[in-house]
């Protein structure tokens, strides 16, 4: 495997995987994935983690629309990133994205589900970096922790090709790792949809991390701060830790 290989193998393997999956063939954004070309990414949330990840991906050549309920406040962010970045409302970013990153305090998730579940179900990837923190987010976070945030978000966003990732690495460290690349740090991820996982793996790699799929969405309960997988581990360490969690 070269450093450009994913957890699924080489890019050719990804193409084979895509070719063998009818649902993926029907998904327009696969064109971009198959070509290894730029993907249109919308971010719901452009705070610490949303702005950091969006900036990384804009610099990697993707088109990114950051969103805020006050998009005028994102002027400085997008101007600093040149032509690949723009700002809009949450609805604008959801419409724009072939892939959508959700990086919000978890208490916002029910409202996002109410407003955008139908649109999000049509995306190639919905990447959820959000964490349920009861002290910050209240009762919805307690419930999400009981069920596991992967499955809870899936309940709020039925049909979405969800992947949990980037949940337990700080945004400043993320920016540093992306700048230097090649640090041998793994990113544990969980999801049910092979195409979404493949695309998420590409985006993880572009952030200078090595994707490690630890399981289906149910395993998302291990992808929150405070669990053994939180913080930084090598891909091998992640696999070993994940094996003890099953």
Ligand X SMILES: NC(=O)c1ccc[n+]([C@@H]2O[C@H](COP(=O)([O-])OP(=O)(O)OC[C@H]3O[C@@H](n4cnc5c(N)ncnc54)[C@H](OP(=O)(O)O)[C@@H]3O)[C@@H](O)[C@H]2O)c1
Nearest to ligand X of 112, 185 (CB atom): 112
Residue nearest to ligand X (CB): 47
CB of 138 to ligand X, least distance (A): 13
Interface contacts to ligand X, rule CB under 6 A: 44-50, 68-70, 90, 103-106, 108, 111-112, 129-131, 133, 166-167, 170-171
Nearest to ligand X of 73, 236 (CB atom): 73
List strands edge to edge, sheet with 125-128. 85-88, 63-67, 40-44, 99-102, 125-128, 162-164, 186-191, 210-215
Please compute, for residue 77, the number of CA atoms within 13 A of its CA located in the half-sphere on the CB side. Answer: 27
Among 213, 205, 201, smallest CA distance to 182 is for 205
CB of 241 to ligand X, least distance (A): 18
- Nearest-angstrom CA–CA distance, 182 and 101: 23
Nearest to ligand X of 8, 171 (CB atom): 171
CB of 129 to ligand X, least distance (A): 5
Nearest to ligand X of 30, 93 (CB atom): 93
Cβ count near 76 (within 10 Å): 9
CB of 167 to ligand X, least distance (A): 5
């Amino acid at each position: 495997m070269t450093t450009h290989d994913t957890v699924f193998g080489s890019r050719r393997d990804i193409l084979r995987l895509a070719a063998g999956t009818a649902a993926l063939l029907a998904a327009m954004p696969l064109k971009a994935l198959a070509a290894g070309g730029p993907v249109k990414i919308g971010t719901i949330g452009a705070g610490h983690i949303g702005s950091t990840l969006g900036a990384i991906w804009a610099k990697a050549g993707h088109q990114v629309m950051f969103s805020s309920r006050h998009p005028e406040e994102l002027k400085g962010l997008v101007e600093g990133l040149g032509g690949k970045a723009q700002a809009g409302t949450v609805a604008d970013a959801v419409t724009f994205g072939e892939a959508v990153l959700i990086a919000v305090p978890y208490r916002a998730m029910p409202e996002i589900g109410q407003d955008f579940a139908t649109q999000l179900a049509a995306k190639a990837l919905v990447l959820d970096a959000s964490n349920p923190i009861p002290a910050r987010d209240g009762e919805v976070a307690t419930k999400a922790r009981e069920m596991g945030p992967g499955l809870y978000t899936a309940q709020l966003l039925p049909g979405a090709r969800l992947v949990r990732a980037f949940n337990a690495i700080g945004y400043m460290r993320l920016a540093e790792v992306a700048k230097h690349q090649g640090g041998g740090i793994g990113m544990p991820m969980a999801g049910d949809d092979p195409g979404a996982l493949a695309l998420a793996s590409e985006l993880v790699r572009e952030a200078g991390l090595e994707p490690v799929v630890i399981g289906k969405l149910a395993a998302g309960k291990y992808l929150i701060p405070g669990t053994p997988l939180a913080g930084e581990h090598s891909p091998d360490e992640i696999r070993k830790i994940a094996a003890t969690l099953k």
